[in-house]
């Protein structure tokens, strides 16, 4: 019997409830305390509507790609290709518009289909070839890096990017709200509805909870796992497209760093509101913690390397909290 289980047996019922509540709400409490501390320390710069809007706008792309990753993780797999895929999609969508003269909507549609196709490839390798998802998606991601360099020769595609494409990410078409925030809300809202309120969402959660039991219940486990990868791939494609629009160029490694941010948000979110379960709302909260943490460091003039230290520490803590939450739920 684990030390945690023995410890739980010694606790009173009230203490167990208090510990469970703390485990569920610790990340939200931590976010609130962080916002309060930054507001007190920098009352002129931090607690303003403009700063909060800017933080969420900057974090919106990370939230989209993390939302897709959440679906892959819910079905019990990991997708390490998302950052490399997003970078490739940014290069391709820019190239399709600038080099091949494709209309912007058509170029975006092609890229989203390409993202779905990469998800299908990842899913088939994992489910049919029985390759571990870490190895499979890391291998696919490395191939995508090669394809990105092959298409662009490592040179950013900048010249000739139309203003209409830039406004996709930089514009404010709805009540003055940045487009990226609107798109992020729609994407995460759609994913939440899919997972929490639909029949297919129940199958997704069943496969993630117990694949063997789901298979016995008549669920096509392989199909659900492939769907998780497909949604992850589509979100990576959308993220790469919006990032290229924001930067005004297609750059081979522009979105690579989103991989670590997405994983940190997903695992931190699993310790939010639920006992070690991955879910969209938790991922959103996790991404907010990371975004406001970075924002606070920037306001106080912390060196750039501190952001990497913070992000790595958050990922380690997040995985630890997720594992603790699952153990508490089991015990």
pLDDT in tens, 13-24: 776 666 667 667
What is the C-alpha radius of gyration for the chain, rounded to an integer number of angstroms? Answer: 21
| pLDDT (mean) for 178-183 | 97
Cβ count near 101 (within 10 Å): 9
- Give the C-alpha separation, 184 to 265, whole Å: 15
> Please, are residues 280 and 193 in contact by the beta-carbon 8 Å criterion?
no
Please report how many Cα atoms fall inside a 13 Å half-sphere around the Cα of residue 308, on the Cβ side. 4
- Give the C-alpha separation, 138 to 86, whole Å: 14
H helices of 130-220, where?
A: 133-152, 163-170, 179-197, 199-209, 211-216
> Please, are residues 144 and 88 in contact by the beta-carbon 8 Å criterion?
yes
Confidence at residue 321, expressed as pLDDT on a 0 to 100 scale: 65
| pLDDT (mean) for 176-183 | 96
Confidence at residue 5, expressed as pLDDT on a 0 to 100 scale: 53
Query: Is the pLDDT assigned to residue 30 strictly greater than 70?
Result: yes
| pLDDT (mean) for 135-157 | 95
pLDDT band at 7 (very low <50, low <70, confident <90, very high): low
> Please, are residues 79 and 229 in contact by the beta-carbon 8 Å criterion?
yes
- Give the C-alpha separation, 100 to 311, whole Å: 39
Q: What distances in angstroms separate CA 236 from CA 93, 133, 264, one per listed residue? A: 13, 17, 16
Confidence at residue 229, expressed as pLDDT on a 0 to 100 scale: 98
| Nearest alpha carbon to residue 81 among 148, 151, 154, 142 | 142
Confidence at residue 316, expressed as pLDDT on a 0 to 100 scale: 80
Distance spanning both ends of the chain, measured CA to CA: 10
Confidence at residue 162, expressed as pLDDT on a 0 to 100 scale: 95
Query: Is the pLDDT assigned to residue 2 strictly greater than 70?
Result: no
pLDDT band at 324 (very low <50, low <70, confident <90, very high): low
- Give the C-alpha separation, 232 to 259, whole Å: 12
Confidence at residue 78, expressed as pLDDT on a 0 to 100 scale: 97
Least confident of 78-82, 158-162, 180-184: 158-162
- Give CA torsion, residues 160, 161, 162, 163, to 10 deg: -120
């Amino acid at each position: 019997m684990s030390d945690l289980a023995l410890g739980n047996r010694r606790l009173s019922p009230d203490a167990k409830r208090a510990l469970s509540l703390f485990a569920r709400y610790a990340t939200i409490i931590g976010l609130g305390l962080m916002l309060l501390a930054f507001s007190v320390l920098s009352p002129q710069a931090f607690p303003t509507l403009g700063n909060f809007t800017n933080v969420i706008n900057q974090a919106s792309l990370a939230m989209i790609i993390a939302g897709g990753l959440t679906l892959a993780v819910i079905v019990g797999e990991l997708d390490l290709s998302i950052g490399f895929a997003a970078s490739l999609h940014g290069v391709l969508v820019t190239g399709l518009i600038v080099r091949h003269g494709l209309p912007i909507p058509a170029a975006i549609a092609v890229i989203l289909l390409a993202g779905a196709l990469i998800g299908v490839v990842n899913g088939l390798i994992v489910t049919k070839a029985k390759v571990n998802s870490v190895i499979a998606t890391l291998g696919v991601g490395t191939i995508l890096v090669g394809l990105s360099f092959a298409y662009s020769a490592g040179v950013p595609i900048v010249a000739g990017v139309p203003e209409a494409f830039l406004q996709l990410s930089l514009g404010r078409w709805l009540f003055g709200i940045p487009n990226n925030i609107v798109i992020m809300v729609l994407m995460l809202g759609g994913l939440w509805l899919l997972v929490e309120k639909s029949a297919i969402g129940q199958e997704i959660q069943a496969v993630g909870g117990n694949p063997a039991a789901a298979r016995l219940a008549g669920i096509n486990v392989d199909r659900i796992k492939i769907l998780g990868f497909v949604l992850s791939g589509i979100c990576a494609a959308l993220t790469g497209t919006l990032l290229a629009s924001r930067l005004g160029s297609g750059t081979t490694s522009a979105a690579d760093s989103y991989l670590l941010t997405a994983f940190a948000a997903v695992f931190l979110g699993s310790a939010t509101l639920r006992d070690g379960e991955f879910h969209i709302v938790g991922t959103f909260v996790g991404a907010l913690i990371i975004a406001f943490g970075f924002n606070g460091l920037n306001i106080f003039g912390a060196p750039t390397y501190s952001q990497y230290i913070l992000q790595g520490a958050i990922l380690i803590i997040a995985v630890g909290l997720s594992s603790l939450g699952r153990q508490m739920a089991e015990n």
